[in-house]
Each structure stands twice: as C-alpha cells, then as structure tokens.
Amino acid sequence: MSPDTPRKWEATGRPLGNRDLADRLCTVSEALSDARSAHVAKFDTFVPHAFMGDVLEHVGRCLGRGDSEDLGPILDTLEQGFARGDRETRSVIAISFAADARPQTFFRQLYPLLGARLRNTLQ
C-alpha cells in the first residue's frame, strides 16, 4: 500500500470503515500488519473488535519498551479513525481500544498520549 493511501481515504469524503482503518493501521505499523495476518489466519476472516484487541496489546508492548516510533503513528491513526470513521468503526475504537485500555496496567501511561477525541470517549 502506498504512503498516499491514507490521503486518498480522506479525500473521498466517505467515512472510514473497519477494513479501511485496519489497512491504515497496517500501513503505519509492520507489527500490526503481521498481527492482522495472524488474526485472519486464526479466525479465517477479519473480526474488527478482536483485531482492535491485538492493536491494544501491541500498544501496551510499545509503551513497555518505550517505542514511540511505532506508537505515535498508531495513536494518530486511531484518532483519525475516530474522527472520520463510520458509526461501527467509532464503536470498535471506543469499546475495543479506548474502554478496554482502561483496566490495563499501562493505561496511566497511555491516557496522556491519546488524542482529544479518544480521551473524550473515556470521560
């Protein structure tokens, strides 16, 4: 996928769907691309809420090792996905990422890094 792909999505004027969001996450993170491949092999399909759990797990690992190079683009993509996503995509991000992050041990470290829209979902 080309680096211009995210801009093309923004230019279409249509809301981002779950597959669009996953494609974009996989564009900004090779680890998430690998995780999606394993996810699809395991479930034999794409399950958005389950994949978002994989994203959350990867974010926790990034925080644990101080990997802001991978973390920043992922969080930016989630924020943009929440801003431009369709209702189902916003729900996946709000529930299976933001809300599911709350009980995680790394939540206090993650919260200040979230964009305003994601922080607002946690209020």
Q: Are 102 and 122 in contact (CB under 8 A)?
A: yes
pLDDT digits (tens, 9 = 90+) for 53-90: 999 999 999 999 998 899 999 999 999 999 999 999 99
Region at 44 (left for phi over 0; alpha for psi -120 to 50; beta for the rest): left
Instruction: Give pLDDT tens digits for 22-51.
Output: 999 999 999 999 999 999 999 999 999 999
The domain limits of the chain are 15-121
